[in-house]
Copies of this chain bind each other. A is one copy, B any other.
Amino acid sequence: MLDMRRMQILRAVVSSGSVTAAARHLGYTPSAVSQQMAALEKEAGTPLLERTGRGVRPTDAGLLLADCATTIGRHVAQAETALADLRAGRTGRISVRYFATAGARLVAPALARLRSEHPGVQAELRLTDPDDPLPEVKAGRTDAALVVRRHDAPPVDGIRFVHLLDDRYRAVLPRAHPLAARPALRLTDLAEEPLVGSELPGPCLDAVLDACGSAGFTPDFVVDSGDYATAQGFVAAGVGVALVPEMGLLAPSASDGHPELAVREVHDPEPVRSIWAAVRATAPEGPVLRGFLGALRGVASQAQAGGADPA
């Protein structure tokens, strides 16, 4: 097997035309270069240099190997720059799993921000509903997943959770509903109302059920729609009232809402779902993943601020 190190030395010898010059150029003694050339000739099984009194001349085989060394050296240099690009975040790939309402309001702007900082990064997005993305994260099949999760949920082994925002639920009512006259509601105000369910069993629905439970009632779901948009359609049609997290609202701000819908804050208690980013605990955090998490946090804090005091 040919040794690359020696082939690079051969290249220096051939290009400079003498062992001594190559040694000077490489910072070695001529003896070292000479020995390496002898070893390479033994490896190659054929003479590579011809001693010509003053200096050496490459033999045909020597010229061939020197040429090969040049192209291989170029490839190694390419590998090095590719590695440097990867380390600096100029290139890279990130795989993200997200759930429906997080896509438009969190992942999309975060990725836009990431790609403005790191234009060469490729992203692979995948909607994870209704599967649990955590095994994917743990197995390394994806780099990050957005999940809804209680603050007091037990830690998951091998996964690190980064808190992004607390997504507060709002009451969505028909504009003509008597409760819509009030600027804000108490959760118990909805105890007797027919509710339009918008969530499948899972942490989101749990957040609602927990809040209602601590308010002392069990919500009366008259319809179960699988998603927030459909639920709000039911509300507009007068079927009932819905509890929808801010990120799921059709009209993000309460002021310029849907013509037939009213959105009101809910308190005592305010149902909240916590949104987290889940990353593998053992993952070496490269610039790309770090940048993406930072972008997510930035987008989330803006969203929280914008939602907290509606303009």
Contact = CB atoms under 8 A, between A and B. Distances in A.
A64 B86 contact: yes
A104 interface: no
A103 B79 CA distance: 51
B52 A140 contact: yes
Contacts of A1: 76, 80
A79 B86 contact: no
Interface residues of A, number: 38
A46 interface: yes
A83 B48 CA distance: 11
Given A75-B72, A140-B52, A284-B46, A83 B61 contact: yes
A65 B83 contact: yes
The residue among A2, A46, A60, A80 with the most chain B CB atoms within 10 A of its own CB is A60
A108 interface: no
Interface string A46-63: 110011100001011100
A282 interface: yes
A301 interface: no
A44 to B, nearest CB: 6
A138 to B, nearest CB: 9
Nearest to A71: B75
A4 interface: yes
A72 to B, nearest CB: 5
A15 interface: no
A109 to B, nearest CB: 24
A201 to B, nearest CB: 32
Contacts of A50: 140, 282-284
A7 to B, nearest CB: 8
Given A65-B83, A92-B60, A284-B59, A5 B4 contact: yes
A196 to B, nearest CB: 45
A93 interface: yes
A282 B52 contact: yes
Interface string A248-288: 00000000000000000000000000000000001110100
Contacts of A92: 60
A45 interface: yes
A2 B60 contact: no
Given A2-B76, A68-B76, 13 more contacts: A2-B79, A4-B76, A44-B83, A46-B284, A46-B286, A51-B282, A52-B282, A60-B93, A61-B86, A61-B286, A64-B79, A64-B86, A72-B75
16 contacts: A1-B76, A4-B4, A4-B5, A46-B83, A46-B86, A46-B284, A47-B284, A51-B282, A59-B286, A61-B83, A64-B82, A64-B83, A64-B86, A69-B79, A72-B72, A72-B75
